Amino acid sequence: MIFVQTNQLKPGMIVGQAVMNDVSVVPLLLADQKLTIRYIRKLRTLNIPGVYIKTKYSEDIIAQGFVDPALKQKITADLKSVCRNFVSKSAITSSMANTLIDVSSSLMDHILSKDEYVLNMVEIKTFDNYTYSHCINVASLATLIGIQLGYSRVSLQELTSAGLMHDFGKLEVPIGIINKPSSLTTEEFAIVKKHPTYAVNKLKNSMKISLTVLDGIASHHEKYDGTGYPNGLSGANIPLCGRILAIADVYDALTTARSYRPAWQTKDTLDFMASNSGTHFDPDILNAFFKTISVYPVGTMVKLTDDSIALVIKNTPGCMLDPMVRILSSKKIASGTEFDLAKVENLHIIKSIDADSEIPLEIFD
């Protein structure tokens, strides 16, 4: 399967992987379904960045989300249940805390059961249920960073829990501010900046939620240079959990489409984060994070230095900038030819094929 951006989709293309809807167990699109103009318009309306499409050059490429869809749906349902009660309570109840601990354990165990701890596919994210999906994604990414840093099982669960709960305080912020498509006013941003404190104030009385988790939630918007909020902490004064969550939070936010902007591509996001190493992000933790993310995820199209269009078919740890590729379209190389770019001197990736690039439509025949 090949990941094709939504505005590059054409009627007649065959869906390779079902596109799920976070608010329903019924997929928006089924695997093997033929795209029509109506379906493509719906994908655009829902701000879905792209779809995996079947081609003769990618039959062996299987797209699998990092978190199993069934588990993600269960976690989403449990988070919804907790959040419905969170707003109406002055403090989290024992039952709610137990649910969150159980959910974080399930997610952590699922991640630890994987053969490799690398995010290696494009996650197709819908705008629906953004808050819940974002919490699951941040928890997953934070756990991957913890694994890379050699965390114990107990510490990993604290990271997972903090990730799942890090934005609970936004439930106290008016929805009009959260979803505002334009810039926030000074007064509105002042309200948003209180959301870490809102969360901690409701969670801190639970014996089930550790101080590490609370500190992480309280500090996930602090910046390494001291310009973050709510307390303007800097460097090692920011709790380690908060420094990890800050990285996971920004990465998932930028790579998810919002009502006011499209999703960023992985490479652009990682470049932006690298440019903020030592200012927004802890450099050592950021380097650990980079080892958990494929720069060019499997199933994405890239342009090579000889102007060939290729498909990424495998990533090798330590060689994330030079994956294995399969030629899709080239003036010099036969389609279907494979290269390990880490072992080829004069052939490298120039860029990912983004939404503004032309794609070789003949590969979809």
Q: What is the pLDDT of residues 226-266, one digit of tens each?
A: 999 999 999 999 999 999 999 999 999 998 877 667 778 88
- Among 294, 314, 344, where does a domain finish? 294
Nearest C-alpha neighbor of 178 from the set 229, 241, 127: 127
pLDDT at 6 over 60: yes
Which pLDDT value is given to residue 252? Answer: 92
* Shared-domain flag, residues 341 and 252: no
Which of the pair, 1 or 311, is modelled with greater confidence? 311
Which pLDDT value is given to residue 138? Answer: 95
Predicted model pTM: 0.85
Contact 110, 139 (CB under 8 A): no
Which residue segment(s) compose the domain that 350 sits in?
A: 299-365
pLDDT at 26 over 80: no
Please report whether residue 63 resides in a domain.
Answer: no
Q: Kindly report, residue by residue over 272-282, the tens digit of the pLDDT.
A: 999 999 999 99
Which pLDDT value is given to residue 60? Answer: 85
Does a cis peptide bond (omega within 30 degrees of 0) precede residue 239?
A: no
Q: How confident is the model at residue 120 (pLDDT cuts 50, 70, 90)?
A: low
- Among 272, 294, 316, where does a domain finish? 294
Cα-atom radius of gyration of the chain, to the nearest Å?
21
Question: How many domains does the chain contain in total?
Answer: 3
* Shared-domain flag, residues 330 and 226: no
pLDDT at 346 over 90: no
* Shared-domain flag, residues 168 and 312: no
β-strands 119-121, 293-298: how paired? parallel
Which pLDDT value is given to residue 82? Answer: 92
Please report whether residue 196 resides in a domain.
Answer: yes
* Shared-domain flag, residues 112 and 253: yes
* Shared-domain flag, residues 275 and 362: no
* Shared-domain flag, residues 124 and 265: yes
